[in-house]
Amino acid sequence: MPTPDARVLHWRAGALLPATSTQPEPSDDAPRATARPEPDTLLVADSWLTVDGATRGLELHRARFVAGVEAQLGGAAPAAAELDDFWAAVAATLPREGRLFPRAELVSGPDTAPPRLQLRLRPAPATHTTITLATHHGADPRTQPTIKGPDLDSLQLLRAPAQAVGADEAVLLVDGRLIEGATTALLWWNGDTLVTVPSWVPRVSSVTELSIRALATALGTEVVEYLATPEELDHKEIWAVNALHGIRLVTAWSDGPTPAAEPGRHARWRRGLDALRRPAT
């Protein structure tokens, strides 16, 4: 969601240019209008943490974003060369100092203009190493579960009931099986084997999960996919992962399993994941 300090750049004429307001500024002698313009509709979004110009898995974010744009627009999607140029401009625009949480977006406005590519430059929120979960027992709010963007607001709304029971994140179940957190992918350990939700389950493809799986391959760690109930994770080490926080260790789960952890494993894998960060190109 937009932050007060966000700076939005629109993709126009082959360049990222500062957004211009579509609302005229009222003159000093004119009454000030109270109505606000209709907000844009977010069709696709992809965000990542940039630290001093370095990002983890930026090419994976690009691939996911491009796939989302093509899925949303079909034959009306920008040509591959234009999407490549947009992403090159995004990478070139990222500041080389500081911590940011940029977001590439495809939005449609309330008028008849075609959907617009844009970049939202945002300061990075504080990051954490642990997280508490709560099971969401209501309906699945997702309308386009495989595309990141359209359901962000509805998924954010799940935080309120989770926070009401003292948790940080809500966990989505379908037919009693784990799918994903509202803003995270869920992984867990069965002994020395890393377990993920099956890739065929309709959900957003997590770039951080893919990075962890690549790291596991490099380390010779077995990774399996399994469609689990929450109860099957009882007394197992559980991770909630995303691009902002990396790997967070689940320390409690309201109306869910009791987590456990192997001492030192979470910290080791966080260091390994951080080592994958590379300068944006």
Could you state, in order of their start, the residue ranges of all structural domains in the chain? 7-21+31-121, 130-279
Whole-angstrom distance, CA of residue 90 vs CA of residue 199: 28
Query: Alpha helices, DSSP H only, in the chain?
Result: 58-73, 80-93, 152-156, 159-164, 207-219, 265-274
pLDDT digits (tens, 9 = 90+) for 156-171: 999 899 999 999 999 9
Q: Phi and psi of 154, rounded to 5°?
A: -65, -35
Q: With bands split at pLDDT 50, 70 and 90, how would you rate the model's confidence at 21?
A: low
How many CB atoms sit inside 10 A of residue 229's CB?
A: 14
Burial class (CB in 10 A: 0-12, 13-18, 19+), 4: exposed
pTM exceeds 0.85, yes or no: yes
Output the CATH code of domain 7-21+31-121: 3.30.470.10
Whole-angstrom distance, CA of residue 126 vs CA of residue 140: 28
Lowest mean pLDDT of 1-5, 35-39, 133-137, name the range: 1-5
Token duo for residue 253: 């789960």
241: β partners: 185, 247
Decide if 7-21+31-121 and 130-279 have a common fold.
no
Whole-angstrom distance, CA of residue 184 vs CA of residue 167: 14
Sign for the CA dihedral angle at 226, 230, 235, 241 comes to positive
| Whether pLDDT at 113 is above 90 | no
| Top-tier CATH class for 130-279 | alpha beta
Whole-angstrom distance, CA of residue 232 vs CA of residue 248: 20
- Which has the closest alpha carbon to 141: 196, 80, 182? 182
Q: With bands split at pLDDT 50, 70 and 90, how would you rate the model's confidence at 22?
A: very low
pLDDT digits (tens, 9 = 90+) for 57-98: 999 999 999 999 999 999 999 999 999 999 999 999 999 999
Token duo for residue 145: 């579960």
| Whether pLDDT at 53 is above 70 | yes
Whole-angstrom distance, CA of residue 83 vs CA of residue 67: 11
Q: What is residue 80's three-state secondary structure?
A: helix
Q: What is the mean pLDDT of residues 34-40?
A: 65
Whole-angstrom distance, CA of residue 203 vs CA of residue 227: 13
**How many helical (H) and strand (E) elements, i.e. helices and strands, does the chain have?**
6, 17
Q: Extract the runs of DSSP E, i.e. beta strands, from 15-162.
A: 15-18, 41-47, 50-51, 54-55, 99-100, 103-108, 116-121, 130-135
